[in-house]
Structure 1
Amino acid sequence: MSDPDSDSVIDALTRAATVHFSHRQDDSPMWGSGFFVAPGWVLTCAHVLAPHLKGDPAMTFRLCGSEVNDGEPLDARLASWLLDGEPRAEQRVPVEQDLALVRLVDEGVEHESVWLTDRTDYPGGRGIVQGYRPEDDPVRQVRRAVRWKAGARINGFDDDYGMRFRPEAEFPKGGSGSPVLDAHSGAVVGILKSRRSGRDGGMAIAATALRRFGPAYQTLMAAHDRWHGQSPKVTGHNWIERQHQLPGAGVHTSGDQWSPRDRREALALLSGVHPPAAIRPVVELAKKARGGVAAPPGQLLPRIWRDGHGLLYEAGQPVAAIAALHYLQLVVEYERSRGGDPVALADWVARRLQDVPRIVHTVVTQATLPPGLVHQRTADGQDRIVVRYPRPGDGSAVVIVELEPVCDARPARFYWRIRVDDGQDVNEPLHEEQTGDGVPPEQIVQRLRGPLEEVFASVDSPGAPAPLEVALPVDHFDTAVHRWQLTEMARLHHPAYVGVRRMVVLRDLARRGKPDAVWQRRWEGTLTAEVLTGARTPPQRQVPRPRHFEEMPASTVPVLCRPAGSGVGRRAIGMALQAGHGIALWHTDGHPDLSCTEFCEEMQQGAAQLLAQSAGAIELPDRLRRIRDDISGSRNSRHWAEGVAMLYDDPSRPLPADDSGPVDSP
């Protein structure tokens, strides 16, 4: 079914971004459709790819579009999908799992990309869907992919991510993965999932389901917004200029109104700001920008700054410029409070304020953070800026030490290697010792001093020492790494203990290689939790059981007042890891055999306070480092955190798989 009322230019731009997939062999039948959302990134349904990539998700396949690369096919690979576990034959994929991201092998290919909505609420009404379908070619006697287009009306919703079409819509076989365009706003709001068997109508996946990709969502949308921010602004042959002419753009005849051009500039600049540490800052800043009024109910929680801008709509129309500029200025203040300096965003807001009434100028320039987001100050009035832990793609480096026990060595001895995760990938070992008898535990620090000093000198930034991650087996989790003295004679202003100067966390060496779905799912929930809490592990007068850890909410962190390398603590931490926990706290210095002491209560209370004060998991390692700094200054050997270790195991930065197998002592 065609739609004569659709915008011809936006239709053409959508068509130019749409592709189909197939095996690399010539004349192989198409699998389904997809579309470009950012340079080199294609979005489709997971069920389009799953039957063909089953058993080999890394397989290279073919991607082709009539207006991409002059119609010539391109090689592509699966980057990520939301499927929970390995796909099964004839498996019906749930809506919330039916998305996949594909990457071009050749990243230098130029192509169109759709404009993805930033709105958090569901659109309704008229939509345009176009993609590819298979058709018999009688001349070549093969099935070829041909373009198709249909109008559809969104008239219902299923749970958080499903959008239903009215029955008169006709969708062909092969259309799954096609973009669903909202004709009202000129933005892609969904991905066609399925047609109804033997009948008209079907279902689409809301674009908001992209948020389930976790950190990859931030990376993808930043690339999307940067690309559109650099697109032509005068010719009219781009998404934003055409959106100006559609009803969803609102009225934008004066400077105190917010236009699609403003939105494009704002989102492109927000893509260059460090992502928020948690959901709460986005919610709170958007709420304050809306005059203290929360967004309408029923909307999904925002994950990134872009999503906060998407909360600034009323009945599908953009709010006035005062709310949007106020929100952007609050983001500037939030980033500055964390030691950042978003100059480009701040300068653009200042220039845009020249076009607004004085009352708007006053509200924006006097913007202050909500009380709950204001950083604490020390007794001397200095800001306590909490450094967020590095995340993939943010350009920050992490130094990783892997300690591998030599098989059957008694007493224990270790092989070791040092790597750097530069924010893009984990590099090959810079230093290692993988032969011979290994190193006894008491000599590890001495053996690592020289190599670590060299590596830290190459990656530390002024005033920002790189974090240290030590990956070792669970049986050795009581190694008090934070007490390592990497300098025999430290300068007075450089503490000798590594855990005082830089963030130090532990990782599970057994989690090398591809992360499992349980670990990834819990980590994503922990990372986005607004408030973190601690759970006494195991509960008092109980033995640890797997269900204790499986039933914990993602916002809950196991806290052990006993060692994790043996006995009850070893069983507890093992169950926590099996249940997917990526963060845990434990006391490395021993525990009475029979029952807890007053110190155990003090530790539980201290850990609870540490978790409650953190604006998300990403702040925890530096907040613990600051406590260690305080302990070092006060020389309080009885402090609850003096012997505390932290597991901080991020599945989005997995340790490289060990393909060498067990290492035997000669």
Structure 2
Amino acid sequence: MSERGDRLFDLVRAATVHLLPAGGKDSPLWGSGFFVAPGWVLTAAHVLRPYLAADRTVLFRVRGEGVDAEARLAEWLITDPRGPKVPLAEDLALVRLVGEHPHECVWLTDRAARHSGALKACGYYPGPPEAHFRMVDAVINGQEDTHGLIIKPDIDLQSGMSGGPLFDPATGAVVGLIKSRRKEKDGGKAVAIAALRRFGETYRTVMAAHDRWHGEEPVSESGDNWIDLQGGPTADQGAVWTPRDRREALALLAELPPPPDEPTVNLIAKKARSGSQWPGATPELRTWRDGHGLLYEGADPLIFLRYLRLVEAHARARGAGSALLGDWITKRLRKDPRRPLHALAQDVTLPDELRPPPEGTGPERVVISYPGPGEGPVVALLLDPVIGAQPVRFFWQIWYDDGDGLPEVHETDPSVHGCRPDELVQALRVPLGGLLESKDREGDPVPLEVGLPAEHFDTAVHRWRFADIAALNDPGHLGARRRLVLRALERRGYPDNRWLDRWQGMTAGRRFEGWRMPPPGAVDPTGYRTAERHRIPVMCRPAGHGTGNVAMKHALNSGHAVALWHIGPHPERGACLPECDTLHARVEKFLETLGSLAELPDRLRHVRQDISEQRPGSTWAEPLALLYDDPRRPLPAEETETVDAPL
């Protein structure tokens, strides 16, 4: 073991703590944790859950080398504190010290790629008489779910080490957190440090404090500094992006306003790489630091400096530029001996989509066209009824299409029996709500498509809300927040000619009228096939049963890709009610505002936003659902295996 390694291990030990009740010296050990920023401890949520599930305000103690302080839970990722176990992706908790106490902080990797290979597992285990620190060799030899790491079986993890850090000696960074050891076996599981990003705004706060603290080049009691020990013998070469460069760059980025959304970070990182994509899937990008972590392949300083220059240009365009960051980029560029290549980091311009809107324009009333193939990202939720289940249950799948390639599965229903309709919002709160939040751009929330069979078209998806508490100026319901459309699950896969022909005819037009569906008299499929292309079917009755369902199926079979209908009750037999005529008249007036078919989803969103804000004259549209089924981007094809109700 090298002297440098020994000194780094001393810093890891100094930053590692154990958690215990607020009582006396001999209180039992709950588990381990480690300092990630001044006053902030990261630990495993299951370490705290037995003691805080009933009351999250309970005080406890954090104890380590030179630290013995009261603390309380700041936030955890657990969605069901009383559930049978804590899922791997939710097993993180952030703890806040009460008062100020000097201590060491680990260096957290900014890379989202999950580690594999050798590292060190650190934590405390019970006495007697007191808890003892332990560091053991460990090997990551597998992955689980989105953020899980598998620790090789021949590693002996002591009870009490849960919540401790996984340290990579090769990079000098903490890359994960110990979740658990295996029952009656060696080895265990861990959570990749990138799962911290799921804390959202709290993550931004903590990581800014982390980078500022390290940027001040703190020196430990032993006289060591974390980053200097990472440096190695070539740390001052101008053509190498060194740990010291990274420390200074991230500290300067931490002083800027955070990015407005994740797609902004994605676009800037991609432009820094001259349009080339990084390997693997794109992780959550909550901070400018996260974008920096995408640039390591090739590790050319000019790529990093180009990224920093673009970030500074983005901030400057919004009146928040940093002279310190700009000056540092210029000075660092002088160290690079490749003068002919300096233009890569000097001559940068923001992409048009990242320029701020003109003064006096508000994004809330700009009509955003619905994206066609290759025109922007779309999230799709497929709700597939479980065959034979009574009452109805759904298996769900979430797909993401970034607009640059084929859609990919983001997450699939892990349940065995599917979800009842009243369980869907809770089940989708984290996987779907988190994905939507991560892909929203400032002023341009990502569209959501919900694929359902026609029998379930009256599912009031536009009334769903994932946030229990919404900001006063933020419409909380999905239909008021984003372009939300329904799609026919029966059409997944390849489109037929009727569907394509009618779509092409509609998108070529600039004038649209409503077509009352079903027409008076018998429900005859002929009228649906011969309806003029500029006419959009409108129904004042639900589409999921009775006459409305028959009419909707005729419309789908005749190639109609767009329709509006009222999901509320309607007499099955007899004439329409007076309010039906009012609805059709209001829809007709609404359709006159369209300049193109692609405006329809966002125009309806504006009306729903008016309803959310209780503006007069808008409530007529509250029960309206919209079918917008673009055959150029059909829903992903059905799996070959039949989905049956479980026995």
Fold in common (TM above 0.5): yes
What displacement does 1:526 show? 3.7
Structure 1 residue 118 corresponds to structure 2 residue 98: no
Distance in 1 (CA, whole Å) between partners of 2:245 and 2:602 is 37
Q: What are the residue-to-residue correspondences of 1:592-607 with 2, within 5 Å?
A: 593-595=582-584, 596-601=586-591
Distance in 2 (CA, whole Å) between partners of 1:604 and 1:542 is 28
Structure 1 residue 245 corresponds to structure 2 residue 228: no
Alignment-mate amino acid for residue 33 of structure 1:
S
Out of 443, 446, 470, the position equivalent to 1:532 is 446
What displacement does 1:333 show? 1.2
Out of 7, 17, 20, the position equivalent to 1:19 is 17
Contact persistence 2:313–2:321 (CA under 8 A): no
Summarize deviations over 1:631-652 as a string: whole Å, max 9, x none: xxxxxxx9x99x999xxxxxxx
Out of 538, 545, 554, the position equivalent to 2:459 is 545
Alignment-mate amino acid for residue 245 of structure 2:
D
Distance in 2 (CA, whole Å) between partners of 1:40 and 1:606 is 54
Distance in 1 (CA, whole Å) between partners of 2:106 and 2:65 is 16
What stretches of structure 2 of length at least 5 have no aligned partner?
365-425, 467-477, 486-539, 541-578, 611-615, 623-647
What stretches of structure 1 of length at least 5 have no aligned partner?
138-143, 388-515, 560-567, 569-589, 626-637, 646-666
Summarize deviations over 1:605-642 as a string: whole Å, max 9, x none: 799769989xxx9xx9xxx99xxxxxxxxxxxx9x99x
Out of 83, 86, 103, the position equivalent to 1:93 is 86
Matched residue SS, 1:85: coil
Match of 1:160 in 2: 146
What displacement does 1:35 show? 0.5
Summarize deviations over 1:34-53 as a string: whole Å, max 9, x none: 00000110000000000011
Contact persistence 1:45–1:177 (CA under 8 A): yes
Identify if the C-alpha distance between structure 1 residues 609 and 181 changes in structure 2 by more than 3 Å, giving closer, same or farther: farther
Distance in 1 (CA, whole Å) between partners of 2:230 and 2:597 is 51
Identify if the C-alpha distance between structure 1 residues 609 and 241 changes in structure 2 by more than 3 Å, giving closer, same or farther: farther
Identify if the C-alpha distance between structure 1 residues 177 and 606 changes in structure 2 by more than 3 Å, giving closer, same or farther: farther
Matched residue SS, 2:283: coil
Distance in 2 (CA, whole Å) between partners of 1:517 and 1:272 is 37
Match of 2:510 in 1: none
Contact persistence 1:182–1:188 (CA under 8 A): yes
What displacement does 1:367 show? 0.8
Distance in 2 (CA, whole Å) between partners of 1:64 and 1:32 is 11
Match of 2:283 in 1: 300
What displacement does 1:373 show? 2.5
Matched residue SS, 1:300: coil
Identify if the C-alpha distance between structure 1 residues 79 and 607 changes in structure 2 by more than 3 Å, giving closer, same or farther: farther
Summarize deviations over 1:251-288 as a string: whole Å, max 9, x none: 54421221100000000111111111222121121122
Q: What are the residue-to-residue correspondences of 1:291-330 with 2, within 5 Å?
A: 291-314=274-297, 319-330=299-310
Structure 1 residue 66 corresponds to structure 2 residue 65: yes
Summarize deviations over 1:214-253 as a string: whole Å, max 9, x none: 111111111110111012489971110000129xxxx544
Identify if the C-alpha distance between structure 1 residues 312 and 534 changes in structure 2 by more than 3 Å, giving closer, same or farther: closer
Match of 1:393 in 2: none
What displacement does 1:332 show? 1.0
Distance in 1 (CA, whole Å) between partners of 2:600 and 2:288 is 26
Q: What TM-score does the superposition give when structure 2 sets the normalisation length? A: 0.61
Match of 2:79 in 1: 84
Identify if the C-alpha distance between structure 1 residues 14 and 542 changes in structure 2 by more than 3 Å, giving closer, same or farther: closer
Alignment-mate amino acid for residue 599 of structure 1:
K
Structure 1 residue 226 corresponds to structure 2 residue 227: no
What displacement does 1:199 show? 1.3
Identify if the C-alpha distance between structure 1 residues 319 and 535 changes in structure 2 by more than 3 Å, giving closer, same or farther: closer
Matched residue SS, 1:109: coil
Distance in 1 (CA, whole Å) between partners of 2:601 and 2:309 is 28
Match of 1:210 in 2: 196
Q: What TM-score does the superposition give when structure 1 sets the normalisation length? A: 0.59
Identify if the C-alpha distance between structure 1 residues 310 and 542 changes in structure 2 by more than 3 Å, giving closer, same or farther: closer
Distance in 2 (CA, whole Å) between partners of 1:199 and 1:5 is 33
Out of 353, 361, 365, the position equivalent to 1:372 is 353
Alignment-mate amino acid for residue 81 of structure 2:
E
Identify if the C-alpha distance between structure 1 residues 76 and 598 changes in structure 2 by more than 3 Å, giving closer, same or farther: same
Matched residue SS, 2:342: helix
What displacement does 1:592 show? 6.8
What displacement does 1:7 show? 0.7
Matched residue SS, 1:257: coil
Q: What are the residue-to-residue correspondences of 1:388-467 with 2, within 5 Å?
A: none
Matched residue SS, 1:313: coil
Structure 1 residue 277 corresponds to structure 2 residue 260: yes
Identify if the C-alpha distance between structure 1 residues 520 and 160 changes in structure 2 by more than 3 Å, giving closer, same or farther: closer
What displacement does 1:593 show? 3.5
Q: What are the residue-to-residue correspondences of 1:174-185 with 2, within 5 Å?
A: 174-185=160-171
Match of 1:468 in 2: none
Out of 331, 334, 345, the position equivalent to 2:314 is 334
Contact persistence 2:235–2:244 (CA under 8 A): no
Contact persistence 2:30–2:160 (CA under 8 A): yes
Matched residue SS, 2:194: helix
Distance in 2 (CA, whole Å) between partners of 1:541 and 1:599 is 29
Distance in 1 (CA, whole Å) between partners of 2:601 and 2:289 is 27
Contact persistence 1:532–1:612 (CA under 8 A): no
Decide which moves more: 253-262 or 175-184: 253-262
Summarize deviations over 1:384-426 as a string: whole Å, max 9, x none: 6979xxxxxxxxxxxxxxxxxxxxxxxxxxxxxxxxxxxxxxx
Distance in 1 (CA, whole Å) between partners of 2:602 and 2:311 is 22
Alignment-mate amino acid for residue 197 of structure 2:
R
Identify if the C-alpha distance between structure 1 residues 299 and 544 changes in structure 2 by more than 3 Å, giving closer, same or farther: closer
Q: What are the residue-to-residue correspondences of 1:620-635 with 2, within 5 Å?
A: none
What displacement does 1:180 show? 0.3
Distance in 2 (CA, whole Å) between partners of 1:602 and 1:534 is 24
Match of 1:29 in 2: 28
What displacement does 1:132 show? 0.3
Distance in 1 (CA, whole Å) between partners of 2:215 and 2:461 is 48
Q: What are the residue-to-residue correspondences of 1:536-615 with 2, within 5 Å?
A: 545-547=459-461, 549-550=463-464, 556-557=482-483, 593-595=582-584, 596-601=586-591
Match of 1:486 in 2: none
Match of 1:7 in 2: 5
What is the RMSD of the two structures over their aligned residues, measured on CA atoms?
A: 4.3
Distance in 2 (CA, whole Å) between partners of 1:329 and 1:383 is 27
Identify if the C-alpha distance between structure 1 residues 92 and 85 changes in structure 2 by more than 3 Å, giving closer, same or farther: closer
What displacement does 1:541 show? 13
Alignment-mate amino acid for residue 80 of structure 1:
E
Contact persistence 2:484–2:601 (CA under 8 A): no
Summarize deviations over 1:547-588 as a string: whole Å, max 9, x none: 5655998984569xxxxxxxx9xxxxxxxxxxxxxxxxxxxx
What displacement does 1:148 show? 1.0
Distance in 2 (CA, whole Å) between partners of 1:383 and 1:358 is 42
Matched residue SS, 1:136: coil
Contact persistence 1:375–1:385 (CA under 8 A): no
Contact persistence 1:214–1:524 (CA under 8 A): no
Match of 1:654 in 2: none
Distance in 1 (CA, whole Å) between partners of 2:53 and 2:458 is 37
Structure 1 residue 151 corresponds to structure 2 residue 131: no
Identify if the C-alpha distance between structure 1 residues 271 and 608 changes in structure 2 by more than 3 Å, giving closer, same or farther: farther
Contact persistence 1:338–1:386 (CA under 8 A): no
Identify if the C-alpha distance between structure 1 residues 312 and 104 changes in structure 2 by more than 3 Å, giving closer, same or farther: same
Contact persistence 1:535–1:558 (CA under 8 A): yes
Decide which moves more: 366-375 or 284-293: 366-375
Summarize deviations over 1:314-339 as a string: whole Å, max 9, x none: 2xxx6111000000001011122233
Structure 1 residue 105 corresponds to structure 2 residue 91: no
Identify if the C-alpha distance between structure 1 residues 528 and 25 changes in structure 2 by more than 3 Å, giving closer, same or farther: same
The alignment of Structure 1 onto Structure 2 pairs a total of residues equal to 447
